[in-house]
Amino acid sequence: MYKSFIFICVYFTSSIVSTNHVNFRCDYKYLDVIDGWMKLHEIPANWHEARLRCHLEGAVLASPLNSNLKFAMASMMILKTPKQSVFTGIHATFSRGDFFSVEGIPLKKIPHKWAPSEPGNWNDQENCLTMHFDGNLAAKSCSATFNYICYKKRIPDMVVTECGTVDSKYVHYDRTNSCYKFHGVPRTWSRAYMTCAAEGGYLTIINSEKEAGIIREIFAQHLPASMVGNFWKDMAFVGFHDWGEHGTWLTVQGQTLEEAGYAKFAPGEPNNATTGEYCGGVYRTGLLDDIWCENVYAFICEKDPNSLLCDPTSDSFDDIIDIRNVN
């Protein structure tokens, strides 16, 4: 099946990986051949989760839009997940049979070959496309799980801020030497946790009265009128949870609130008012509350300025498996 391909182990050279660029983030690798960065996620996910995580990381779910992207994706797959397939960003989730990449490019304009017996569209449920390491495509259920690759196209004048990110909404506070970002688009606690993690941070952990003061300042900069939607705007998710042991509150880093340095709840809280209040929140006053995990609220991410940075001398793979079609 693969006799038309030749596999060669080679070192990344300047023609493939360049260090003469601004790092997007340490967990992504820059490739000159695609003028951008890629990251292969080794934990499989369904298509919707894959697309969302790439988006939250500031990238897109990669598709083999041209020969260079296909080469880069296949090379990374062979190195990291040999003989496996990955989800691409090509989907028909908006309209059955109408396949487009997440960038809006129709399948008919994307050079492609199908794997044997594909596209099958079994039970009329295969609305997402995968790519095998040989470059061939297959239609799969979007609820199936596969590895996936995120891609960030280089843009001119990309700037890494003092928070160690290209996301200018993170603000550095000298008082804690941490960076914070207020998310006014509400999410559930789980999605908020995912968002902060994807951005290189975590749901903020208040470690002191000084840090509670920063939270009050952040709230003051985001008045209720600035937030769109029907949700409670005087509360935000932060980084503590009952971890399944109701009444025991731990931070997302495994400390009790007392160990973390701040355990000031609002009067009468935590009260698990209508049951199900198992996630951590903070009022505009800086006081804590237990709130519903599945309701949506604003949330605050905290980030170490160095969390996405790495030693530029190590910003490459030791090797990569290169594939060349010899037909």
Per residue in 24-65, pLDDT tens?
899 999 999 999 999 999 999 999 999 999 999 999 999 999
pLDDT score for 18: 42
The C-alpha atoms of residue 315 and residue 327 are separated, in whole angstroms, by 33
Q: Which of the pair, 120 or 276, is modelled with greater confidence?
A: 120
Six token digits for residue 306: 């160095």
Q: Are 56 and 195 in contact (CB under 8 A)?
A: yes
| Helix spans in the chain (H) | 47-56, 67-80, 189-198, 209-220, 257-260
Q: At 9, which helix (H) or strand (E)?
A: strand 5-10
The C-alpha atoms of residue 281 and residue 157 are separated, in whole angstroms, by 37
What whole-number percentage of the chain has pLDDT above 70? 87
The C-alpha atoms of residue 326 and residue 86 are separated, in whole angstroms, by 23
The string over 192-231, giving b where at least 16 C-beta atoms fall within 10 Å of a residue's C-beta and e elsewhere, is: bbbbbbbbbbbbbbbbeeebbebbeebbeebeeeeeeeeb
Give me the count of residues in the chain: 327
The C-alpha atoms of residue 203 and residue 289 are separated, in whole angstroms, by 15
Q: Are 102 and 91 in contact (CB under 8 A)?
A: yes
Q: Give the residues across from 235 on adjacent strands.
A: 283
Question: Residue 174 CB: number of other CB atoms within 10 A?
Answer: 6
Short-list 213, 222, 247, 246, CA closest to 299: 222
Q: Which of the pair, 21 or 175, is modelled with greater confidence?
A: 175
The C-alpha atoms of residue 147 and residue 38 are separated, in whole angstroms, by 13
The C-alpha atoms of residue 319 and residue 326 are separated, in whole angstroms, by 22
Q: Are 149 and 76 in contact (CB under 8 A)?
A: yes
The C-alpha atoms of residue 71 and residue 155 are separated, in whole angstroms, by 21
Rounded to the nearest integer, the mean pLDDT of the chain is 88
pTM over 0.95: no
Residue ranges and CATH numbers for the domains of the chain are 5-157+313-325 (3.10.100.10), 171-303 (3.10.100.10)
CA atoms within 13 A on the CB side of 93: 17
Backbone angles phi, psi at 237, to 5 degrees: -70, 140
Average pLDDT over residues 268-297: 89
Give tens-digit pLDDT for 234-260: 999 999 999 888 778 999 999 999 999
Average pLDDT over residues 186-208: 98
pLDDT score for 88: 98
Give tens-digit pLDDT for 309-324: 876 555 444 444 444 4
Six token digits for residue 274: 């209508």
